[in-house]
Structure 1
Amino acid sequence: HSPELAAFHAIWAMAAVMLFQNPVKAYFNKEPIGAAFKQSVVDIFASLAAGGRNMVSVALATAAAGIIVGVVAMGLGGLITQIIDTLSGGNIYLLLIIAALASLVIGMGLPTTATYIVMASLTAPAIVEIGGMYGFIVPLMAAHLFCFYFGILADDTPPVGLAAYAAAAIAKSDPIATGIQGFMYDIRTAILPFMFIFNSDLILHNITSWPAGLLIFAMACMGNFAFASATQGWLVAKNRFYELPFLLAATFILMRPDAIASWLGVAHEKRFWMYLIGLAVFGVIFLMQWPRRPRDAAPATA
């Protein structure tokens, strides 16, 4: 199927579901079926109208993206690649930091769809091309996710942080302080894109079995949990200063088992066994904090 045909089938299938949803509910609730059927027809046309209105912003973003792609094709893309290459000096880490900062700046004030379109047109190809120039192969999907994550992160990163302004209006708080606090809460988003680049297992690149995919997913969740505990200063109790390095170590091991396997001289095919080390480190910190966990105060007795 083409994308257009798939969307068409999805629309009429959803319309069929909506058409019979209210009458079926009315039948079981012993309510008038005719009125429910009429309401279903009204809901279908209202949904079509809402979909048309929502498509306006997407259409504008797509049209703007077409202009961007055209400009990139005329030479701007090569210029951006040259600038990033010159600034990074061929250092892959510096390259990624520059690309991350560029994605943060470009993503400021853009909606999600437009952010991805712009990132995919400008910074993602630069990462793939420059990485390949210096022998570091970056999967295209990893490069796209890298730029997209940092573009989305711009929504709550001061000084723009449109999401932070919206949240501050609800909470009646300072927008900049809200943005900084929000950035601290989702700072794990800032490390995950780097893991996509250096550990392509996270995007299931060359992973062909369901058990391996589920294992990677579970361990990545544990790694993010360990990193969140480190940055928030709390696991099951308030972290002590000497526990922070162990939480960060557990994060790295769970997110980069291939690096640990390489350092220990373990074959790449057996890298998943390194997860046991990360789980052990994380488990030790958990057990150390368990006796310090907050407990509800015992009820007072007369």
Structure 2
Amino acid sequence: MDEDRQINTQELLEKYDKEYHYRQKLGKWGWIVAFLGVSLTLFHLYTGFFGTFQTQIQGAVHLGTALGIIFLLFPARKGWHRKQTTVPWYDILLAFIALYVVYHKIIFFDELLQNRISGYSFFDTIVSIIGILLVLEATRRTVGIPIIIVASIAILYTIFGKYIPTQLLSHPGFAIERIANYLWYRESGVFGTPIQISAKFIFLFLFFGVVLVQTGIGKFFNDLAFALTGRFTGGTAKAAVAASALQGMVSGSSVGNTVASGSFTIPMMKNAGFKPAFAAATEASASTGGQIMPPLMGAAAFIMMEYIGVPYSTIMLAALIPALLYFTGIFMGTHFEAKKQGIFGLPKSQLPPLKKIMVRYGYMLLPLIIIIVTLLSGFTPQRAALFGIGSAYLVSFVRKESRLNLRQTVKMFEQGARVALPVIAAVATAGIIAGVISMTGLGSKFAAGIIALAGETLILALFFTMIACIVLGMGLPTTANYVVTATIAAPALINEFGLTAIAVHMFVFYFGIVADITPPVCLAAYAGAGIARANPFKTGVIAVKLAIAAFIIPYIFVYNPILVLVDVAPIPLIIAIATALIGMMAVSSAMIGFFVRTMNMFERIILFLAGIMLITPQKAIDIVGIVMIGAMWFWQKRRPDGDQRLSAKNREEVKL
């Protein structure tokens, strides 16, 4: 237990999350990083309140300042962030070049607009080529190499498309200067929709999350979760799920949330009797779900708002029921595992008192409530984020322990920029990929390929899209993955099969996220396994079992969009939610292998099918599912029990 608590969370974050590979010692350049970071945060607060600049200018300030900070903060190679005692000269040079080539768009804004008609100069072309290369290098440093490979292949495809033998993917090809100018100066490339949404909305919401963390809301969420669920069967695991859901919707980082919450919850789960791999998988799957948990969700949700052309409140409400089902599945999975292993809740003496917590710290929920009310009232996401930031900062003054002095406030402003750096770099590179798709017509080609491969069968088209999302998600951050799949695959599903836009976009969004827990590349599961000292691959397999809802629900709401609140009526919606929750209970039970008693394979298959029938919002199928679950309950009640629970000795062995 003590050994588990002493786990170095920073080492785990550095191992599994590229964004933590920043320099520990900056020397005098630390002041420059702080100045640029605080300036970037103040710029977004100013434009959020008074209105944004023209999109190209807003995006240039957003990306240019971020690139300057990245080259000063992140070293060229892994491991150098601990060794270097200051910023080397070549990174200082790259930082200032990056600042210039991006701010070049602002300095010569009117001329560049005119050059769209008359043609770009040789110097403009050189600037665009350098700018694209610096974006790719900054992304490599902050996010990792896989996304760079995808972007590089996309650019090479644009140049050498005429040499591709298959007619489906070939195209005439483009000159390098035309590609560079298109991707750098047009609205379909680096400075396209992803970077524009990042500059308008995403940065402010990421900063809101930083403000909440600084006020100590993470500890409050943990205490609240344990007070609510700790006394029930398998209480430590259920508390971990609840705490991760609350923290995840603020942080939006699967790996970061797994390590932050898991360093506390995983040892407690192991001590209660859960096996190490199961404890790690519980934390990883719950933390990953934070990106689909309203009100904040992941950064990609804000880009989805722009792609579909609906208010963010619509996205938030559409995500509510699927997120509820996702966490219900994990919650029930931990319940049945606890019943199977004979793991009970914590005694009341070991739990924080709920009433005392709410009386003393309940005010910390105010910023989240303000965000939700503001969004649902029809205000813009920018205004909602500003209200949330302001209220979070003000409530920090309620108690001395959370009160921020001037130094801490300045540090918080700098941290707001630091947190956003990987997202900014990722969406800029995603813009490159999206620009290539636009230039070459790859989207329509890919759509034609999916339809041809699926034989115009919807279920096959969805399956192939799911595989593409998961494979891309193994190398791309969720935001970049969503941009690519929403640009390539979503239009095919919407146009060819007549599906609802929001259901399709939520479909690709979901499967991009679950890549974080899907073997073999399941970084959140690996991080959890590092804390639990468990087998990483086994942890990933268990995480998939617990998060099975994420693999089922998207298919259901594509076929029947009532679960994403499209064409709903109150009574059918209530029935759909109730039956879906019961269905998730049955599916989770089947995945764990325990219902009333431990189940054999035949019983698990029957209960799994019954659960699927109930999740599908169709009355006749729901009735069949309920009958099957009832029959299984009656059958298991009559079957002899046997020794299904761990002895005290075995539970001690599990702890070890």
> TM-score per shorter chain, which class?
0.7 to 0.9
Among candidates 398, 417, 420, match of residue 21 of structure 1: 398
Partner in structure 2 of residue 164 of structure 1: 525
Deviation at 1:99, TM superposition (A): 0.8
Native 8 Å contact 1:120 1:147 kept in 2 = yes
Partner in structure 1 of residue 492 of structure 2: 126
1:165-184 equivalences in 2 (<5 Å):
165-184=526-545
Q: For residues 296 and 155 of structure 1, do their structure 2 counterparts lie closer, same or farther at Cα, with a shift above 3 Å needed?
A: closer
**For residue 90 of structure 1, what is the amino acid of its counterpart?**
E
- State the percentage of identical aligned residues: 34
State how far apart, in whole Å, the 2-side matches of 1:97 and 1:156 are. Answer: 18
How large is the Cα RMSD of the aligned pairs?
2.9
Per-residue CA deviation, residues 252-278 of structure 1 (Å, 9 max, x unaligned), is: 3212242x64xxxxxxxxxxxx64443
State how far apart, in whole Å, the 2-side matches of 1:22 and 1:82 are. Answer: 60
Partner in structure 2 of residue 247 of structure 1: 607
State how far apart, in whole Å, the 2-side matches of 1:11 and 1:199 are. Answer: 37
**For residue 234 of structure 1, what is the amino acid of its counterpart?**
F
State how far apart, in whole Å, the 1-side matches of 2:405 and 2:398 are. Answer: 7
Native 8 Å contact 1:112 1:152 kept in 2 = yes
My pick for the range that moved more, 172-181 or 140-149, is 172-181
1:180-259 equivalences in 2 (<5 Å):
180-209=541-570, 211-258=571-618
Partner in structure 2 of residue 141 of structure 1: 502
The SS at the match of 2:399 is helix
Q: For residues 42 and 235 of structure 1, do their structure 2 counterparts lie closer, same or farther at Cα, with a shift above 3 Å needed?
A: farther
State how far apart, in whole Å, the 2-side matches of 1:92 and 1:147 are. Answer: 15
Partner in structure 1 of residue 470 of structure 2: 104
Among candidates 634, 639, 652, match of residue 287 of structure 1: 634
State how far apart, in whole Å, the 2-side matches of 1:287 and 1:43 are. Answer: 60
1:22-171 equivalences in 2 (<5 Å):
22=399, 39=404, 41-74=406-439, 75-131=441-497, 137-171=498-532
Q: Paired residues, what number? A: 267
Higher relative contact order (CA 8 A, sep 6+): 2
State how far apart, in whole Å, the 2-side matches of 1:105 and 1:168 are. Answer: 22
Q: For residues 296 and 94 of structure 1, do their structure 2 counterparts lie closer, same or farther at Cα, with a shift above 3 Å needed?
A: closer
My pick for the range that moved more, 244-253 or 200-209, is 244-253
Native 8 Å contact 1:149 1:189 kept in 2 = yes
Q: Which runs of 5+ in 1 are unaligned?
A: 27-35, 132-136, 262-273
The SS at the match of 2:505 is helix
**For residue 382 of structure 2, what is the amino acid of its counterpart?**
E
Deviation at 1:101, TM superposition (A): 0.9
State how far apart, in whole Å, the 2-side matches of 1:79 and 1:296 are. Answer: 55
State how far apart, in whole Å, the 2-side matches of 1:296 and 1:70 are. Answer: 57
**For residue 580 of structure 2, what is the amino acid of its counterpart?**
A
**For residue 579 of structure 2, what is the amino acid of its counterpart?**
M
**TM-score, normalized by length of structure 2?**
0.37
**For residue 22 of structure 1, what is the amino acid of its counterpart?**
R
State how far apart, in whole Å, the 2-side matches of 1:193 and 1:243 are. Answer: 25
